């Protein structure tokens, strides 16, 4: 079951929010959320629930033990707990990748096992790791109730594809929370904006991205350069709109239930440096690696060589976290190189480059990062990179590329605007103006009431007949 489906929006979530609002006690509200979350997650397969239950049980058990021990024993308990949960993640996410490479190098094993990746395992594993480490650091108390820790890990709002919610962010609200009409209004607005991003824009951009980004190298070699650039642009828009849409919907659903999750995106395509891009893109993942990997390794509190090594480790892991394939490793190294250049080569000189040049440079860097991200087949990836510069011997453009652009230029323009804070700034300006003008107040009030309904209706129209349109990050 995906968020961007008629069943989820008009049946599952509608029933959940109704029952949740009718529950009088906090215990009843939490039971409602837990049952809903387990039903939602089990939709993908009951075996996946068993894996999640195991990970939660391990972290609950060790979390309690960590409060009973001190010194070296405590550290050993933490290492053992992290080893177990990372081993579970490693088996399901990376065993097939390891066996494939062993088979390629040695011929063993004869048959590579087909291990199905449990839905959202990368996200809830990181959440549980953050919980255990924060208990070890005495930032949060251990959760004595197994069911409450399971609720934290399985919250259907965000357990499948983030944002990565830290236990400390929601532990108080899991015990006691209140919803106000203003929170519900903000939640509904955020949810419908995310739904529209996905159903109207991201899914449409996906069609353009697939037009020339074919699935095999032979077909890719026949595509004109203009078509490849067009599909690359569409995919660049799609991946932001798709992933930020999921986060918008998660934050909106949380608000409707009285839960506040961290923001996960801050208009990353407006960045003027790669460093800034990663402060704005998938913020909860970046902050996780900063707080639980980079800083424990020494961060920037050591010499240049060690800082570079720390960055190398972080970006190797960031790439591998996204997927068990060499293109994701390459993707991580790609960003590692640019971040090292910015920090240690350009330094303060980066600020001397005109802002427009820096902005366009980041957009170009990000464009190619998504090309790397898209193609797991390295032969196909190289074919695309060559083709973007006319290296496959095809005409730079053809009638199909021209027609595709003419048919979709309005979609691409609206999608570009949706990747910027233009609409948010206009709304903020109108809100400020409404304090001084009755006409502005009336217009702002009408927009606040009408736009969620309008976006919901338009999204429903787009989703009609669209049986399955999963979010890109669900596969991670």
Residue range 171-199: mean pLDDT, rounded = 93
Instruction: Assign 232 a pLDDT band (cuts: 50, 70, 90).
Output: very high
How do residues 30-43 score in pLDDT, each as one tens digit?
999 999 999 999 88
Mean pLDDT of all residues in 160-164:
85
pLDDT at 408: 96
Is 207's pLDDT higher than 70? yes
Q: Each residue of 239-295: pLDDT tens digit?
A: 999 999 999 999 999 999 999 999 999 999 999 999 999 999 999 999 999 999 999
pLDDT of residue 330: 97
Per domain, the residue ranges of the chain are 6-176, 183-463
322 is catalytic: yes
State the pTM of this model. 0.94
Sole residue written with tokens 């095809």? 394
Q: For residue 117, what pLDDT is reported?
A: 86
The model's confidence at residue 206, banded by pLDDT at 50, 70 and 90, is: very high
- The average confidence (pLDDT) of the chain is 92
pLDDT at 476 over 70: no
Q: What is the pLDDT of residue 463?
A: 87
pLDDT at position 443: 84
What is the rounded end-to-end Cα distance, in angstroms, of the chain? 16
| Residue 439 clears pLDDT 90, i.e. is over it | no
Look at residues 337, 370, 364 and name the one whose alpha carbon lies nearest to residue 272: 364
CA angle 233, 273, 412 (to 5 degrees): 20
**According to the model, what pLDDT value does residue 162 have?**
75
Confidence band, pLDDT 50/70/90 cuts, at residue 466: low
- 20, 157, 322, 451: the catalytic one is 322
Please answer whether residues 164 and 288 qualify as being in contact, where contact means their C-beta atoms are separated by less than 8 angstroms: yes
The answer, yes or no, to whether residue 85 has pLDDT greater than 80, is: yes
pLDDT interval class at 236 (50, 70, 90):
very high
d(CA 242, CA 248): 10
State whether the Cα torsion 114-115-118-120 is positive or negative: negative
d(CA 364, CA 267): 16
For residues 450 and 107, give the distance between their C-alpha atoms in angstroms, rounded to a whole number: 62
Checking if the pLDDT of 453 tops 80, the result is: yes
Q: Give pLDDT, residue 5.
A: 85
Asked if residue 115 lies in contact with residue 91, where contact means CB atoms within 8 angstroms, the answer is: yes
- Supply the angle between the helices 46-66 and 71-106 in degrees, to the nearest 10: 150
With a cut of 80, say whether residue 87 has pLDDT above it: yes
> Is the predicted pLDDT of residue 475 greater than 70, yes or no?
no
Is the preceding omega at residue 109 within 30 degrees of 0, hence cis? Answer: yes
* Segment 141-161, tens digit of pLDDT: 999 999 999 999 999 998 888
Distance (Å, rounded) from C-alpha 131 to C-alpha 146? 13
């Amino acid at each position: 079951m995906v968020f961007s489906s008629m069943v989820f929006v008009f049946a599952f979530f509608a029933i959940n929010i109704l029952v949740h609002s009718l529950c009088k006690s906090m215990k009843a509200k939490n039971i409602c959320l837990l049952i809903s979350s387990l039903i939602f997650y089990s939709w993908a397969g009951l075996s996946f629930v068993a894996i999640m239950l195991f990970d939660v049980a391990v972290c609950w058990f060790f979390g309690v033990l960590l409060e009973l021990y001190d010194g070296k024993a405590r550290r050993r308990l933490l290492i053992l707990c992290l080893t177990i949960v990372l081993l579970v993640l490693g088996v399901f996410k990376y065993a097939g990748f390891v066996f494939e490479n062993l088979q390629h190098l040695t011929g063993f094993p004869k048959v590579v096992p087909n291990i199905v990746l449990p839905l959202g395992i990368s996200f809830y594993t990181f959440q549980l790791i953050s919980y255990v480490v924060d208990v070890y650091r005495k930032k949060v108390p251990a959760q004595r109730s197994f069911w409450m820790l399971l609720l934290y890990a399985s919250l259907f709002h965000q357990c499948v594809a983030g944002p990565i919610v830290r236990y400390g962010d929601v532990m108080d609200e899991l015990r006691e929370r209140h919803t106000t009409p203003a929170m519900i209004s903000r939640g509904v607005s955020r949810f419908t904006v995310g739904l529209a991003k996905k159903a109207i824009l991201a899914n449409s951009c996906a069609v353009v991205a697939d037009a020339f980004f074919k699935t095999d190298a032979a077909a890719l070699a026949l595509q004109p350069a203009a078509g490849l650039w067009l599909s690359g642009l569409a995919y660049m828009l799609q991946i932001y709109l798709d992933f930020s849409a999921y986060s918008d919907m998660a934050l909106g659903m949380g608000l409707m239930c009285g839960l506040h999750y961290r923001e996960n995106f801050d208009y990353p395509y407006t960045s003027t440096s790669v460093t800034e891009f990663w402060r704005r893109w998938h913020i909860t993942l970046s902050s996780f690696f900063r707080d639980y990997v980079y800083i424990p390794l020494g961060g920037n509190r050591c010499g240049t060589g060690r800082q570079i090594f720390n960055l190398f480790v972080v970006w190797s892991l960031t790439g591998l976290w996204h997927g068990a394939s060499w293109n994701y490793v390459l993707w991580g190294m790609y960003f590692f190189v640019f971040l090292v250049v910015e920090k240690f080569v350009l330094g303060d000189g980066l600020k001397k480059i005109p802002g427009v040049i820096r902005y366009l440079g980041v957009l170009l860097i990000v464009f190619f990062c998504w090309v790397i991200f898209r193609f797991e087949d390295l032969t196909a990836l190289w074919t695309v990179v060559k083709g973007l510069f006319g290296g496959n011997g095809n005409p730079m453009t053809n009638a199909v590329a021209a027609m595709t652009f003419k048919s979709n230029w309005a979609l691409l323009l609206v999608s570009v605007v949706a990747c910027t804070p233009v609409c948010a700034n206009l709304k903020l300006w109108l809100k400020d103006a409404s304090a001084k003008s009755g006409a502005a107040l009336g217009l702002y009030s009408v927009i606040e009431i009408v736009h969620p309904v309008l976006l919901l209706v338009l999204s429903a129209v787009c989703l009609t007949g669209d049986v399955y349109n999963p979010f890109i990050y669900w596969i991670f």
